[in-house]
């Protein structure tokens, strides 16, 4: 049983080494009504090098393209701009993303009406279209960005591995609560700073340093197993706060990739962060329950903890080398 548990845990963590961090890059469509029933469209599709995802926009039948499309590669996306005239407007019409059903990505659709009201919706491979509301609500924007926050933390394998390493490092429940809280506060601050443009940090070095932070916590688990006690063992909340600032810039980079609604920036930022926290709390609860169950099955829990630390360190070292090579 013990060897089987080692095998499963090792396989899962090593599989994480092939996963991309913060890989939240949905397509993004913005439709601005610049005059009555006249729309300017901006369509951003994730791209890698000279290749972009084969996705396109399907407007209601009442819409006709006005002029030619103009587009090109910018950073990691292919951005296309054009205009369209929709008889009777978009209200009640269906906007769809053609080709989305055959992918694993999502798309955000943001409609800005001439009167300033906005509708932000998320479409997925299972539901690749959305009905444009006549009277958009802020609740729809809040729901969209909350789901995106949950999705980001669930697919952000390196963030979850960092939190899991903290759970292994800290045994005292009160210290664990203080550590998770300080991590949350720190990354919430830098998430806001990065998203609002108050502080700008290049994303590749941030990603590399996040991998280094996981390596650091893994090394601290090994040091504590050897009976060594230093600042990180006595005051782990300080370490989690400092590294939380770093992880917040990672969240901010992902949020900048998908874009924010200009008139609902505070609401979108708040609900995205709440989604991140909700996903993180669910993960912590699941991890603690799993660890409690493993303690009932494994006699030598300290040896298991030490081996997990080495696996965490190996995975994060691989990430570090991979991200440094990608500079």
Q: Measure the CA–CA gap between 278 and 276, rounded to whole angstroms.
A: 6
pTM, to two decimals: 0.72
Domain ranges of the chain: 2-22+156-325, 27-135
| Residues 245-278 pLDDT 10s | 888 887 777 676 666 666 677 888 888 888 988 9
Instruction: Provide the sign of the torsion angle of the four alpha carbons 60, 41, 203, 50, taken in this order.
Output: positive
Report pLDDT for 98.
93
Low-confidence spans in the chain with pLDDT less than 70: 1-25, 227-233, 254, 256-263, 327
| CATH, domain range 2-22+156-325 | 1.20.1250
Please tell me whether residue 296 adopts helix, strand or coil conformation. helix
Residue 32, token pair as written in the block: 């601005």
Report pLDDT for 130.
92
Burial of 319 (0-12, 13-18, 19+ CB in 10 A): buried
Q: Measure the CA–CA gap between 98 and 117, rounded to whole angstroms.
A: 26
Residue with tokens 């299972």: 126
Long-range contacts of 87-91 (CB under 8 A, 24+ apart): 87/37, 87/62, 87/63, 88/37, 88/62, 89/33, 89/36, 89/37, 90/31, 90/33, 90/39, 90/59, 90/60, 90/63, 90/132, 91/132, 91/133, 91/134
Torsion of CA 253, 246, 150, 111, to 10 degrees: -30
Q: Measure the CA–CA gap between 241 and 112, rounded to whole angstroms.
A: 38
Report pLDDT for 25.
63
DSSP per residue over 63-85, as a string? EEEEEEEEEEEETTEEEEEEEEE
Instruction: Tell me the pairing of strands 51-52 and 56-58.
Output: unpaired
| Residues 100-119 pLDDT 10s | 988 878 888 988 888 877 78
Residue 186, token pair as written in the block: 């720190």
Residue 259, token pair as written in the block: 């874009």
Q: Measure the CA–CA gap between 22 and 156, rounded to whole angstroms.
A: 5
DSSP per residue over 1-41, as a string? -HHHHHHHHHHHHHHHTTSPTT----EEEEEEEEETTEEEE
Report pLDDT for 82.
96
> Do residues 178 and 280 make contact, with C-beta atoms less than 8 angstroms apart?
no
Q: Measure the CA–CA gap between 191 and 273, rounded to whole angstroms.
A: 8
> Do residues 288 and 167 make contact, with C-beta atoms less than 8 angstroms apart?
yes
């Amino acid at each position: 049983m013990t060897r089987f548990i080692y095998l499963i845990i090792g396989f899962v963590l090593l599989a994480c080494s092939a996963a991309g961090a913060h890989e939240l890059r949905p397509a993004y469509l913005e439709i601005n009504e610049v005059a009555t029933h006249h729309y300017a469209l901006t369509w951003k599709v994730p791209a890698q090098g000279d290749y972009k995802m084969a996705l396109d926009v399907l407007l209601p039948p009442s819409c006709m393209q006005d002029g030619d499309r103009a587009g090109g590669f910018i950073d990691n996306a292919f951005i296309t701009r054009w205009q369209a005239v929709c008889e009777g407007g978009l209200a009640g019409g269906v906007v769809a993303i053609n080709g989305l059903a055959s992918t694993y990505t999502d798309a955000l659709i943001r409609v800005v009406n001439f009167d300033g009201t906005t509708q932000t919706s998320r479409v997925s491979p299972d539901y690749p279209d959305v009905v444009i509301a006549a009277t958009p609500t802020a609740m729809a924007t809040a729901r969209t960005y909350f789901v995106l926050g949950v999705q980001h933390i669930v697919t952000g394998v390196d963030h979850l591995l960092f939190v899991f390493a903290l759970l292994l490092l800290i045994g005292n429940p009160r210290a664990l609560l203080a550590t998770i809280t300080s991590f949350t506060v720190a990354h919430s601050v830098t998430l806001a700073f990065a998203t609002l443009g108050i502080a700008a940090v290049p994303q590749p070095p941030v990603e590399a340093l996040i991998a280094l932070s996981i390596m650091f916590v893994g090394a601290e688990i090994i040091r504590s197993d050897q009976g060594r006690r230093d600042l990180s063992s006595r005051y782990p909340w300080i370490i989690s706060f400092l590294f939380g600032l770093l992880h917040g810039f990672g969240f901010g980079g992902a949020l900048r990739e998908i874009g924010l609604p200009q008139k609902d920036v505070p609401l979108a930022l708040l609900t995205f962060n709440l989604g991140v926290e909700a996903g993180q709390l669910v993960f912590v609860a699941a991890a603690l329950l799993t660890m409690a169950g493993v303690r009932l099955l494994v006699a030598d829990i300290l040896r298991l903890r030490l081996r997990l630390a080495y696996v965490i360190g190996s995975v994060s070292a691989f990430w570090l080398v991979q991200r440094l090579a990608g500079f």
